[in-house]
Amino acid sequence: MDSVPNVFIERVTGILCEKTVRVLREGQVILGRWAFAHPTYKELKLTIATFNGKKFCSFYLKEEDLRNVTLANVFSMWNMATCNFIAVKFYATPVVLGEPLKENHFRTLKKMIAQQRRRISLLYIGPCEEELLDNAVDILELCGGVEQLRIDTNMTRIAPVVNKLISDGGVCEFMLFDRIFPDHMIIPTLTTQIEFGNLRAVYRVGPKFGIT
């Protein structure tokens, strides 16, 4: 089923805000998006990194040699019914990592992530430049939810979208590294979502990667 039944929309019209109801009516959501995952999916890990101000990307596919998985390979094999990204990472790196990432490539990756039918298991945002943070925000806005969100960078730029994703019940586990402090707006949201049962755990990772 690729659309939301009218009977469902009628029942929730008095509960949801007008914007949400409009999205449902226009068919901009996939009903049961997370329900169609299949064990035979090709599970990919995506890393987007910066080096000397330039963006690079690399992929890991469990069934293939890391060196053989390129953008061209991923684009040619991709099918939202058989593939999904299980991990997406953003960070600055001291060495060239993978192949250059152009803006049109990133736009294609965004569409692929927006359409996949299984949650991202891990989304990690490490120390990185503002432009890469903007890319991370783009993914946070369209991914629909993540099993675990890890933050190891200043939260000022990403706090609003992180707060919204958590408040929408889109994060199961939230992890902050020891030197990172949560934005004040996020703390009440974390508390509420833990009480609701949507957020299973909140972790602080110490300097030696010990979870507290």
- Domain shared by 135 and 38, yes or no: yes
Q: How many Å apart are CA 78 and CA 111, to the nearest integer?
A: 11
- Both 123 and 63 in one domain: the answer is yes
pLDDT for the residue 211: 41
- Report pTM: 0.78
Q: Is residue 36 predicted with pLDDT exceeding 50? A: no
The verdict on 149 and 137 lying in the same domain is: no
The count of domains in the chain is 3
Do 105 and 179 reside in the same domain of the chain?
A: no
pLDDT value of position 32: 46
DSSP structural state of residue 96: -
Percent of the chain whose predicted confidence (pLDDT) is above 70: 75
Question: For residue 81, what pLDDT is reported?
Answer: 77
Q: How large is the average pLDDT for residues 29-57?
A: 75
Q: Are residues 51 and 86 in the same domain?
A: yes
Name the band, by pLDDT with cuts 50, 70 and 90, for residue 39. Answer: low
- pLDDT for 23: 58
User: What average pLDDT score do residues 130-154 get?
Assistant: 94
| Residue 109: pLDDT band with limits 50, 70, 90 | very high
Residues 119 and 106 in one domain: yes
Is 132 found in the same domain as 177? Answer: no
Please name every residue paired with 85 in a beta bridge, in sequence order, or none if there are none. 44
**Mean pLDDT, range 188-199, rounded to an integer:** 93
User: What residues make up the domain containing 71?
Assistant: 34-142
DSSP letter at 34? G
Q: What SS3 string covers 101-157?
A: CCHHHHHHHHHHHHHCCCCEEEEEECCCCHHHHHHHHHHHHHCCCEEEEEECCCCCC
The residue among 142, 177, 203 that closes a domain is 142
Q: What is the pLDDT of residue 38?
A: 57
